[in-house]
């Protein structure tokens, strides 16, 4: 990505945070304070979705700071200059024919005018503006008043805008968003700006955004924007943990209420048929469920993804009125435990046979797309995949909801990808990384599908500062959630990895016969076996092959197999699988192919319209490797004694 910043170095420094010191801060990601419940309608809560076409303007001015200098948020965006239509949710990069926008770095501006129902403007009611995510740094105004700022591109943030909209009930609610996609050594993921100062080769003040990760740095409002209401005294957060025996399960809950200290709480746990199976009251307690239906992974039980529904009712007195708030939280009852050789779900060994993914598709980039989401889950189940890693950032809550419902197991990864520079291991980066983990766990802590946290992907774990960095990061994550194991995904040699001592599960990426010894499939058995044995001998921890794979161009064939052909991709998989089959009898607990589907990257001499390691094309059509993996995954599932007869018969159709 390249751009010209006529403001010079000083102008470039303003790319990320221009003039914010002059703008009263109304919030930000200084720490995960309060709850972040997913917006759900209830008898006490209403929801208004703001997806659709927004007004949009990229700031191409010197230093990218004109929007702040001229205070574009003070008036309708169309009055500041030319605007275009922009879909939300979507990345802005591929929507137009303008190459300058496709590769734009800096501030862009979005605006939407909304009419609110009159009943939303009454006393004792909160109106909240919530963003599922926006990449990367966001500042939000409502009717010209700043309400929130947030750092990070993959997690939700919100603001209470009640006082603003209730003070001007007759005018539309004008929502303005300034969004900056610049990455620095201290963002997550990190990046750096490089100036090209050779005037014989580059224009004045020419710069590029350098990144150390292999996917396109799409930007925009990527997930749903909603307005929702609650009473002025409301349920702010719910935390649930579960334990179980064969006959009884315990659902431990904690509820926080904001707006008053005088309230009452009642709780009802219902099964999928709507029957009440347990009740409780008060802000904390334990619900006991007799003969529980446990949450099981896909292909591990005839009824995977079983969820109960915890209805929480709050009543409070405020301003001489009786207020009631109701929120229903899906709950899966399951346990997770790690031994030196196994990963146990509900006390039974679980083997990860799944994929790595990306939120990526034609035109919309990383924007949420329901048709694509449902298609992907249909392909996952067709494939016989029981799991995936959210490589390399938290995925949309809507995707996570379906993982819970379908029984797809998730390794939930934060955006800690591309941590390669020494300055990205300093205290400034670490403090932000800790906040990101707080936000991620706050969002996903109640999800039964999430069985492990991943705090990074392929960091430079051999660097001396990595030891303190990951010791602190893993300890912080475990303190936030003691119920789940923690890992990070490494490509560092086992002998020099300074972060591995602190994780519960070893996750290793390797590309033998691709990035190493390219074209030599015969080296895979020796090198992959040595990899597993060295890691296990050193750490005595279970191992997941968290990435492996080869690029293949759809329709390119070669026999004998040559690199980039569909035959080579198949042959590489089979070489890896032969080693997996030996080591999964010992301590290898999973295999995740890279990648589920082809995806876009920066341009480069090794990338032809993106990364082609998908077993499906970017348009979700299968390559030959998809059928190899499907046959393997269903056979592995068929070996499980937990697989019901109806699913065992599926193997007959392969």
Contact of 180 with 137, CB cutoff 8 Å = yes
CA gap 241, 244 in Å, rounded = 11
> Which residues are annotated as catalytic?
458
Q: Is the dihedral of CA 63, 65, 69, 75 positive or negative?
A: positive
CA gap 198, 17 in Å, rounded = 27
Looking up tokens 């592995």 gives: 636
CA gap 392, 413 in Å, rounded = 6
Contact of 93 with 1, CB cutoff 8 Å = no
Number of H helices, E strands in the chain: 12, 31
Q: Nearest 5°: phi and psi at 584?
A: -75, -10
CA gap 338, 58 in Å, rounded = 49
Say which residues have a Cβ less than 8 Å from residue 148's Cβ, sequence separation at least 6.
26, 27, 28, 129, 138, 139, 140, 157, 158, 159
CA gap 552, 566 in Å, rounded = 5
CA gap 339, 357 in Å, rounded = 27
CA gap 2, 206 in Å, rounded = 7
Contact of 512 with 524, CB cutoff 8 Å = yes
In DSSP terms, 139 is beta-bridged to: 149, 178
| Burial class (CB within 10 angstroms; exposed 0-12, middle 13-18, buried 19+) of 69 | middle
CA gap 332, 117 in Å, rounded = 36
Smallest CA-to-CA distance from 179 within 68, 74, 340, 298 is with: 68
**DSSP letters of 597-639?**
B-B----BTTBSSSB---SB-TTS-B-HHHHHHHHHHHHHHHH
Give all strands of the β-sheet with 2-4 in edge-to-edge order: 2-4, 206-211, 191-195
Contact of 229 with 95, CB cutoff 8 Å = no
Smallest CA-to-CA distance from 453 within 423, 418, 416 is with: 416
CB atoms within 10 A of CB 215: 23
CA gap 566, 51 in Å, rounded = 39
Locate 607 and state its tokens: 């990338």
Looking up tokens 């035109």 gives: 363
The alpha carbon of 323 is separated from its chain's Cα centroid by a whole number of angstroms, namely 35
Locate 376 and state its tokens: 């992907």
């Amino acid at each position: 990505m390249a751009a010209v910043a006529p403001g010079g170095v000083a102008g470039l420094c303003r790319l990320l945070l221009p003039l914010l010191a002059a703008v009263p801060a109304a919030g930000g990601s200084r720490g995960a304070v309060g709850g972040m419940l997913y917006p759900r309608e209830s008898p006490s809560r209403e929801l208004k979705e703001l997806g659709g076409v927004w007004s949009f303007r990229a700031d191409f001015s010197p230093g990218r700071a004109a929007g702040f200098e001229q205070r574009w948020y003070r008036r309708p965006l169309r009055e500041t200059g030319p605007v275009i239509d922009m879909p939300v949710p979507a990345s802005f990069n591929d929507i137009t024919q303008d190459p300058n926008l496709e590769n734009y770095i800096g501030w862009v501006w979005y605006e939407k005018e909304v009419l609110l129902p009159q009943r939303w403007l009454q006393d004792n009611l909160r109106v909240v503006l919530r963003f599922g995510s926006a990449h990367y740094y966001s500042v939000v105004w409502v009717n010209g008043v700043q309400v929130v700022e947030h750092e990070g591109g993959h997690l939700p943030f919100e603001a209470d805008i009640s006082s603003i909209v209730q003070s001007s009930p007759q005018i539309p609610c004008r929502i303005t968003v300034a969004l900056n996609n610049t990455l620095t050594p201290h963002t997550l993921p990190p990046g750096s700006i490089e100036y090209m100062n050779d005037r014989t080769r580059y224009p004045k003040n020419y710069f590029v955004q350098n990144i150390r990760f292999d996917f396109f740095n799409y930007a925009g409002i990527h997930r749903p924007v909603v307005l929702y209401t609650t009473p002025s005294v409301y349920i702010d957060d719910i935390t649930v943990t579960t334990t179980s025996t064969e006959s009884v399960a315990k659902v431990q809950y904690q509820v926080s209420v904001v707006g008053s200290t005088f309230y009452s709480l009642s709780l009802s746990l219902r099964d999928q048929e709507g029957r009440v199976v347990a009740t409780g009251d008060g802000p904390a307690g334990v619900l006991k469920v007799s003969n529980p239906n446990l949450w099981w992974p896909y292909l591990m039980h005839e009824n995977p993804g079983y969820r109960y529904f915890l209805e929480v009712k709050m009543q409070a007195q405020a301003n001489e009125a009786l207020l009631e708030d109701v929120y229903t939280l899906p709950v899966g009852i399951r346990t997770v435990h790690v031994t030196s050789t196994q990963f146990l779900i509900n006390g039974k060994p679980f083997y990860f046979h799944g994929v790595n993914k990306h939120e990526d598709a034609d035109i919309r980039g990383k924007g949420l797309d329901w048709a694509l989401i449902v298609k992907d889950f249909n392909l996952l189940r067709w494939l016989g995949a029981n799991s995936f890693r959210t490589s390399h950032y938290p995925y949309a809550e809507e995707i996570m909801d379906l993982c819970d419902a379908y029984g797809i197991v998730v390794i939930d990864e934060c955006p800690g990808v591309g941590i390669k520079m020494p300055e990205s291991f300093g205290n400034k980066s670490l403090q932000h990384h800790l906040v990101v983990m707080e936000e991620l766990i706050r969002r996903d802590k109640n999800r039964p599908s999430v069985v492990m946290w991943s705090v990074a992907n392929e960091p430079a774990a051999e660097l001396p500062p990595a030891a303190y960095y990951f010791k602190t990061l893993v300890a912080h994550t475990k303190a936030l959630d003691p119920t789940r194991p923690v890992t990070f995904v490494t490509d560092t040699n086992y002998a020099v990895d300074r972060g591995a001592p602190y994780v519960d599960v070893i996750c290793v990426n390797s590309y033998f016969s691709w990035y190493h010894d390219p074209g030599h499939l015969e080296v895979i058995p020796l090198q992959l076996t040595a990899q597993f044995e060295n890691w296990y001998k050193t750490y005595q921890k279970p191992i997941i092959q968290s990435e492996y794979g080869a690029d293949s161009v759809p329709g390119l064939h070669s026999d004998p197999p040559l690199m980039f052909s569909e035959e080579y991709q198949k042959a590489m998989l089979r070489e890896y699988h032969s080693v997996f089959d030996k080591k999964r009898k010992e301590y290898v607990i999973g295999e995740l192919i890279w990648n589920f589907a082809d995806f876009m990257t920066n341009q480069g001499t090794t990338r032809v319209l993106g990364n082609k390691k998908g077993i499906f094309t970017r348009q979700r059509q299968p390559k030959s490797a998809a059928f190899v993996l499907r046959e393997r995954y269903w056979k592995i599932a068929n070996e499980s004694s937990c697989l019901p007869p109806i699913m065992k018969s599926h193997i007959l159709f392969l």
